[in-house]
Amino acid sequence: MKHSAILLVACPDRKGEVASIADFVYRHNGNILHADEHADEESGLFLMRVEFDPKDFALDLADFGKHFAPVAENFQMKWRLAQSSQRPRMIIFVSKYDHCLIDLLYRHQSGELACDIPLIISNHPDNQPLADFYKIPYAVVAITKDNKNQAEERIQALITEHTADVIVLARYMQILSNNFVNRYPQRIINIHHSFLPAFVGARPYHQAFERGVKLIGATSHYVTEVLDDGPIIEQDVVRVSHRDTVEDLIRRGRDLEKVVLSRAVRLHIESRVLVYGNKTVVF
């Protein structure tokens, strides 16, 4: 993969943002590899993602902010600069179901996911061998009704110790406290095994079976305080029929969950997802 720098911008929509940003990159000898933007009419918000080749860039990227400040201030931009050379750190949470975990680990190893995985956290020891095979540290933090707070503190300490840019809940079957969730806004990615907003909550495949739907889905979203309600990053569905038992739905859903979660993770890692309101722009 080529080295690239990615500028993410959000600001009130008015004339001249594209020109100002493009001009800034060009003036400092950056080559725009790809640019995409979106103006949300309802909120009057302008969102942009500019990927440029920093090879001949005249500025030290560490000083980018200092030089970009006048443009940013002029347009009241909130912005962030990502660099493909700085791989984000992703901590994976998992319980017993291993299909999403194995999928993420394989994609990581094969180079599809350009991130580092400093740690896997689980409330069960079951997936330790898998972590060992891929040589990723694996910490077990058992959770009971009585130790919930301490467990979260322990998890919190582990995250602080290993540092994480993003937390991925790969079928982690514990509900995180609001306190925890609020520490990582737009940085916790979950996979829910239904086509949200249908079948919120527990046992969505059973709910789908009961309702007799002809398609089942999976949804990857950022975690917010409201259960299964955060901004959706990616969704997909697969056709089912009356022949499919609940067990068939679960089996077929696993394939959906894997690809939907891994797509969402990849989009996040490549800085392609911008949140506005309770929605996402996926560039």
d(CA 192, CA 260) in angstroms, rounded, equals 10
Q: How far is the CB of 84 from its own copies (least distance, A)?
A: 15
Q: What angle do CA 101, 269, 266 make, to 5 degrees?
A: 55
Return the closest-CA partner of residue 58 out of 5, 11, 123: 5
Question: Is there a catalytic annotation at residue 53?
Answer: no
- Mode of pairing for the β-strands spanning 89-94 and 166-169: parallel
Q: How far is the CB of 57 from its own copies (least distance, A)?
A: 11
Q: Which is nearer to its own copies, 151 or 198 (CB)?
A: 198
Read off the DSSP letter of residue 210.
Answer: H
- State the SS3 of 222-251: ECCCCCCCCCEEEEEEEECCCCCCHHHHHH
CA distances from 62 to 58, 81, 83, 91 (A): 12, 10, 11, 25
Q: Which is nearer to its own copies, 65 or 129 (CB)?
A: 129
Q: Which is nearer to its own copies, 18 or 158 (CB)?
A: 18
Point out the catalytic residue in the list 165, 228, 229, 255: 228
Q: How far is the CB of 150 from its own copies (least distance, A)?
A: 33
d(CA 202, CA 256) in angstroms, rounded, equals 18
Q: Which is nearer to its own copies, 158 or 213 (CB)?
A: 213
- The residues binding its own copies (CB under 8 A) are 15-16, 18-20, 22-23, 25-27, 29-41, 98-99, 102, 106, 110, 112, 129, 133, 195-199, 211-215, 217, 231-237, 241-243, 245, 251, 255, 259, 277-282
d(CA 182, CA 230) in angstroms, rounded, equals 12
Q: How far is the CB of 129 from its own copies (least distance, A)?
A: 8
Q: How far is the CB of 166 from its own copies (least distance, A)?
A: 19
- Sheet of 45-53, strand order: 31-40, 45-53, 5-12, 78-83
Q: Which is nearer to its own copies, 73 or 146 (CB)?
A: 73
Which positions are annotated as active-site residues?
Answer: 228
